[in-house]
Amino acid sequence: MESTRNDDVIVIGGGVVGLTTAVVLAERGLRVRVWTRDPVERTTSAVAGGLWWPYRIEPEARVAAWSLRSLAVYQELARRPAETGVRLVDGVQGQSRREELGPWADQVPGLRAATPEEFAGTGLWARLPLIDMTTHLPWLRARLTRAGGVVEERTVTALAEAEAPVVVNCTGLGARELVPDPQVRPVRGQLVEVENPGITTWLAAIAPDGEMAYFFPHPGRLVLGGTAEEDAWSTEPDPAVAEAIVRRCAALRPEIADARVLAHRVGLRPARDAVRLERESPRAADLEPGRVLVHNYGHGGAGVTVAWGCAEEAAGLAFPAA
């Protein structure tokens, strides 16, 4: 294997947070290598529904800044949807009111109360980035390559294996064992992909049975969700859960009931009470003195939402003067 000692940075983790962080660093002129256990297309990020929305992620003030910075980037990327996988799509957050959200909501263009025609109940209408991860992750990898970065498939068992002056830990759920950080835990999400019966808007709402349901129109398919099972580790789709997801979504849009199922997906969101985005002493991680370690993990189901804001902050922590 080629020596990595000539790299300025090794980013561990090839999901959306790791790749975005690597892109930011590489485009600042640094020599960046990404180590990813799984191919980019098989990371947890590949299973994400892809809607921009600060969902189940703390701390609130920092998340607001990260989210809004990412929103600005996605709005620009949406100018080239076929290339980047990012589109701006109208939809409704059901059972939501503006006063229940933080100040960040004032900076979301067009956010308003949904009309009765748009949603039968209280909800918020918004035009938000919807990211097709099957396109976006390969695009990030290609952008990194153009900037001189390298992606390698490699399993890491200790942070000290990354022999570079700067190491950025974007391992998500893997941080539970690698750091180790027992605060990181899985929140299992199951999705069903179906043929789109003509739905052009997204919806996230409480279904009549009291459970959460959502559907997101992506190119060539409609993604249905979802679940949020705490501390569940199984990545095998559960047929009963899949049936319940379709039933709940069909209760909101009846035409979904007869849509042909294309695929079943499961992802384990890397949840933590608060995102860990900080610089740590090399000694605490058994790294050689003089090296830099930055942690950027624990984003739960909102990694897409905060990816660019977190990436830029991580880059600033790694290279304060860059």
**Residue type for position 136:** H
Whether 205 has a binding-site annotation, put simply, is no
* Cα→Cα distances 226→178, 190, 203, 316, Å: 29, 6, 12, 35
Whether 156 has a binding-site annotation, put simply, is yes
Whether 281 has a binding-site annotation, put simply, is no
Whether 55 has a binding-site annotation, put simply, is no
Other residues' Cβ atoms within 10 Å of the Cβ of residue 37? 15
* Measured distance CA(121)–CA(265) in Å, rounded: 30
3-state helix, strand, coil in the chain (%, to 5): 35, 30, 35
Among 268, 1, 43, which Cα is nearest to 140's?
Answer: 43
Whether 45 has a binding-site annotation, put simply, is yes
* Measured distance CA(267)–CA(248) in Å, rounded: 20
Whether 13 has a binding-site annotation, put simply, is no
H or E stretch at 269: strand 261-271
Whether 201 has a binding-site annotation, put simply, is no
H or E stretch at 223: strand 221-225
Residue 5 and residue 163 in contact, taking contact as beta carbons nearer than 8 Å: yes
Contacts of 8 (CB under 8 A, 6+ apart): 25, 30, 31, 32, 164, 165, 166
Whether 74 has a binding-site annotation, put simply, is no
Binding residues are 44-45, 156, 171, 214, 269, 300-305
Binding residues for D-dopa are 214, 269, 301
Binding residues for FAD are 44-45, 156, 171, 300-305
